Amino acid sequence: MRTDGSAGNDAHMTEVTGKDPLVLFMPSGKRGRFPVGTPVLDAARSLGVYVESVCGGRATCGRCQISVQEGNFAKHKIVSSLDNISAKGPKEERYESIRGLPEGRRLSCSTQILGDLVVDVPQDTVINAQVVRKAATDRVIERNAAVQLCYVEVDDPDMHKPLGDLDRLKVMLERDWGWKDLLIAPHLIPQIQGILRKGNWGVTAAIHRDMDSSRPFIVALWPGLKNEAYGIACDIGSTTIAMHLVSLLSGRIVASSGTSNPQIRFGEDLMSRVSYVMMNPDGREAMTKAVREAANMLIGKVCEEGQVDRHDILDMVFVANPIMHHLFLGIDPTELGQAPFALAVSGALQYWAHEIDIDVNRGARLYMLPCIAGHVGADAAGATLAEAPYKQDRMMLLVDVGTNAEIVLGNSDRVVAASSPTGPAFEGAEISSGQRAAPGAIERVRIDPETLEPKFRVIGVDKWSDEDGFAEAAASVGVTGICGSAIIEVVAEMYLCGIISQDGVVDGSMAARSPRILENGRTFSYLVHDGQPRITVTQNDVRAIQLAKAALYAGIKLLMEKLGIDHVDTIRFAGAFGSFIDPKYAMVLGLIPDCDLAEVKAVGNAAGTGALMCLLNRGHRREIEQMVSKIEKIETALESKFQEHFVYAMALPNKVDAFPKLAQVVTLPERKVLADDGGDGSGRRRRRSRD
């Protein structure tokens, strides 16, 4: 039996005629005619339908389960019936008696086609790739993992044919599984003798078929039948490291978890970490060690949660922003801190996991997605793969907002990408009452346009602040500050209520209407909550948000200009920030261009989803490698128009300009420009990498 996806050339395959039974595989919809007696597994293989098998048709691994749909499928001209498959034979009966088979399930290796069939391949592979609060959409990643488990029975040593143990193993892996020109991980060489003898010459080899060389590799070896192997998909963010543990055979996510990036102790944001490297001789080593240790710790956590031995992890896919990419791989990130922001490596990379000090199976591989540019990293590549703007005709804007915003814009014709220096305001930093999203943080705000009275919700409390019992409910967590998503809301609400003008000035004249408008010397602020602490939105806070949103919008505008378009069809917000903000308010503030609100979606950790896709299907690795080389990279620092867009984008959208779709949903204020407050509304931009 062959599992390399090539059509079988066994005798029974060559006799195919128009009269042979017709077999339809679901959900792929692939179909073909096969002679009576063909095992269902072979039929699936010859059509390229992915059905796992480890034991090579011995009916011992149980991986190749299918079921038969009964009925008259008129559309397909198939009447499918259980009579059209062979009865269970002794091997399958034996498997069932020992390991059990769910109702209706059959082992496809032991089930022969007797007539027309509709075959269900169980989709254990349906993956909820979204780890976000809203609009989680299931996605199916077609499985084509880089690692395959193959059980073989090796000939005993023979003095007449003195081939070595390894060499005889290779012979069987070629004969039974079609692997040619196999290589082997060097650490296995001294173990071969013992493993073969312990398994009484029956062994399971893990074959990695996506090594950076073109030859398949034996990366692990076990005595007897080994029925499971796992993979890790990981996004190393500056703040958080997020990880999935996945069965490489079923595609099932066994466990997901996250942890803080311990590099935070060297610097909160990425630029301060680069500074740390520049100032400390061992700074790079210390940070590399810290992030690798955190990854190892997190692997321990997901393995414990999933009750998996970490040495059963055989493949890993990582994404990261450029600075984390460099630090994780042990590369000095200093060059990324200054023009020309030169990456040491931009292409995809492969390692043995142990070369990066990751403690899993000694033969595990580690694949790092390519970086797009000096500020658009492997994480952005992962998100691009997950959302795949290049696969659709509609114009998609993909935004990942952090300290830098990574922006990808395009469709099947052309894709452009850039990074824009939004600064940390969207994350609550540089905001007077700003804080991280944590219990006690205000996460939702509404302002009554008549009374200018606010109501809000706090993380950890179920009620709005104007509901009965809020004070009691909030007593335990307190009301401690405003998190990033709520800052967008409160400033947008202030604008919609006329508290701030189109050019972002808090209107002091409103103090006459509401005691919530407070005077602070020459400027005014808005009181959200009069407690301990007192939570206000100051003129400087509004300026900080304006600067951030202007940077983001200017970057988007630049890319739209590059593509010669004046609107986008659909918008995807990737990352934690995007998951929590309300698209409407983002648009009211002009973070993003006008768009049908139903087409603005949060996609959660799309970078991690991209890593997961590469883990479960090696084809996605080639896809993103090729795509990254095609994406046109725009460096905002080099574009004179960027500055122009930036200055223009400082103002907030108004009724007249530019946001017709938004105007259908909210009533934007008239143009109203107040005298400037002396805030430094121009040019104050610092380059920061995404957090």
Phi, psi of 621 (to 5 degrees): -65, -45
Question: Which strands form 481-482's sheet, in the order they lie side by side?
Answer: 454-458, 441-447, 481-482
Q: Give the span between the Cα atoms of 51 and 69, in whole angstroms.
A: 17
* CB of 196 or CB of 452, closer to a copy of itself: 196
Contacts for 262 with CB less than 8 Å, ≥ 6 apart = 290, 291, 293, 294
* CB of 8 or CB of 157, closer to a copy of itself: 157
Q: Per-residue contact track with a copy of itself, 374 to 393, x per CB under 8 A? A: x-------------------
* CB of 255 or CB of 637, closer to a copy of itself: 637
Query: Minimum distance between the CB of residue 636 and a copy of itself, rounded to whole angstroms?
Result: 10
User: From the list 87, 135, 140, 189, which residue makes contact with a copy of itself (rule: CB under 8 A)?
Assistant: 189
Q: Which stretch binds a copy of itself (CB under 8 A): 10-18, 234-242, 330-338, 385-393?
A: 330-338
Q: Which stretch binds a copy of itself (CB under 8 A): 105-113, 121-129, 337-345, 445-453?
A: 337-345
User: From the list 127, 211, 323, 431, which residue makes contact with a copy of itself (rule: CB under 8 A)?
Assistant: 211
Q: Kindly state whether residue 562 participates in binding a copy of itself, applying the rule CB under 8 A.
A: no
Q: Kindly state whether residue 338 participates in binding a copy of itself, applying the rule CB under 8 A.
A: no
Question: Of 11, 62, 6, 41, which Cα lies nearest the Cα of 180?
Answer: 6
* CB of 372 or CB of 535, closer to a copy of itself: 372
Q: Kindly state whether residue 190 participates in binding a copy of itself, applying the rule CB under 8 A.
A: yes
Query: Minimum distance between the CB of residue 310 and a copy of itself, rounded to whole angstroms?
Result: 22
CB atoms under 10 Å from CB of 430, counted, come to: 17
CB atoms under 10 Å from CB of 323, counted, come to: 27
* CB of 10 or CB of 635, closer to a copy of itself: 635
Q: How far apart are the first and last CA of the chain?
A: 49
Q: Kindly state whether residue 219 participates in binding a copy of itself, applying the rule CB under 8 A.
A: no
* CB of 73 or CB of 352, closer to a copy of itself: 352
CB atoms under 10 Å from CB of 178, counted, come to: 16
Q: Kindly state whether residue 349 participates in binding a copy of itself, applying the rule CB under 8 A.
A: yes
* CB of 124 or CB of 335, closer to a copy of itself: 335
Report the 3 state secondary structure along 322-383. Answer: HHHHHHHCCCCCHHHHCCCCCCCCCCCEEEEHHHHCCCCCCCCEEEECCCCECCECHHHHHH
* CB of 164 or CB of 439, closer to a copy of itself: 164
User: From the list 37, 89, 186, 300, which residue makes contact with a copy of itself (rule: CB under 8 A)?
Assistant: 186
Count of residues near a copy of itself by CB under 8 A: 51
Question: Is 183 in contact with 213 (CB distance < 8 Å)?
Answer: yes
Query: Minimum distance between the CB of residue 365 and a copy of itself, rounded to whole angstroms?
Result: 12
Query: Minimum distance between the CB of residue 183 and a copy of itself, rounded to whole angstroms?
Result: 5
* CB of 42 or CB of 165, closer to a copy of itself: 165
User: From the list 142, 212, 644, 670, which residue makes contact with a copy of itself (rule: CB under 8 A)?
Assistant: 212
Query: Minimum distance between the CB of residue 78 and a copy of itself, rounded to whole angstroms?
Result: 44
- Concatenated DSSP letters of 403-457: SSEEEEEE-SS-EEEEEE---SGGGTTTSTTB--SSTTEEEEEEE-TTT--EEEE
Cis peptide before 439 (omega within 30 of 0): no
Q: Kindly state whether residue 136 participates in binding a copy of itself, applying the rule CB under 8 A.
A: no
* CB of 87 or CB of 189, closer to a copy of itself: 189
Q: Kindly state whether residue 678 participates in binding a copy of itself, applying the rule CB under 8 A.
A: no
User: From the list 335, 561, 596, 625, which residue makes contact with a copy of itself (rule: CB under 8 A)?
Assistant: 335
Q: Kindly state whether residue 344 participates in binding a copy of itself, applying the rule CB under 8 A.
A: yes
Question: Of 557, 520, 575, which Cα lies nearest the Cα of 542?
Answer: 520
Contacts for 162 with CB less than 8 Å, ≥ 6 apart = none
Query: Minimum distance between the CB of residue 219 and a copy of itself, rounded to whole angstroms?
Result: 14
Question: Is 504 in contact with 396 (CB distance < 8 Å)?
Answer: no
Q: Kindly state whether residue 371 participates in binding a copy of itself, applying the rule CB under 8 A.
A: yes
Query: Minimum distance between the CB of residue 217 and a copy of itself, rounded to whole angstroms?
Result: 9
Q: Kindly state whether residue 531 participates in binding a copy of itself, applying the rule CB under 8 A.
A: no
User: From the list 637, 658, 663, 674, which residue makes contact with a copy of itself (rule: CB under 8 A)?
Assistant: 637
- Concatenated DSSP letters of 211-224: -SSSS-EEEEEEES
* CB of 123 or CB of 191, closer to a copy of itself: 191
SS3 content of the chain, % helix, strand, coil (to 5): 35, 25, 40
Q: Kindly state whether residue 616 participates in binding a copy of itself, applying the rule CB under 8 A.
A: no
User: From the list 7, 135, 140, 345, which residue makes contact with a copy of itself (rule: CB under 8 A)?
Assistant: 345
Q: Kindly state whether residue 343 participates in binding a copy of itself, applying the rule CB under 8 A.
A: yes
Q: Give the span between the Cα atoms of 483 and 481, in whole angstroms.
A: 7
Residue 683: Cβ-neighbour burial (10 angstroms; 0-12, 13-18, 19+)? exposed
Amino acid at 598: A
User: From the list 638, 640, 667, 680, which residue makes contact with a copy of itself (rule: CB under 8 A)?
Assistant: 638
Question: Is 642 in contact with 649 (CB distance < 8 Å)?
Answer: no
Q: Kindly state whether residue 164 participates in binding a copy of itself, applying the rule CB under 8 A.
A: yes
E strands, 121-249, are 126-127, 139-140, 147-153, 183-184, 202-208, 217-223, 230-236, 240-247
E strands, 449-545, are 454-458, 481-482, 517-520, 523-530, 534-537
* CB of 22 or CB of 376, closer to a copy of itself: 376
Q: Which stretch binds a copy of itself (CB under 8 A): 1-9, 225-233, 335-343, 520-528?
A: 335-343
Q: Please calculate the CA angle 321-326-327 and round it to the nearest 5 degrees.
A: 100
Q: Which stretch binds a copy of itself (CB under 8 A): 158-166, 253-261, 596-604, 608-616?
A: 158-166
Q: Give the span between the Cα atoms of 684 and 550, in whole angstroms.
A: 11
Cis peptide before 90 (omega within 30 of 0): no
Phi, psi of 196 (to 5 degrees): -60, -45
* CB of 330 or CB of 508, closer to a copy of itself: 330
Q: Kindly state whether residue 215 participates in binding a copy of itself, applying the rule CB under 8 A.
A: yes
Q: Kindly state whether residue 513 participates in binding a copy of itself, applying the rule CB under 8 A.
A: no
Task: Please give the residue ranges that form the binding site for a copy of itself (CB under 8 A).
Answer: 156-167, 170, 183, 186, 189-190, 192-194, 211-215, 329-332, 335, 339-347, 349, 351-352, 355, 371-374, 633, 635, 637-638
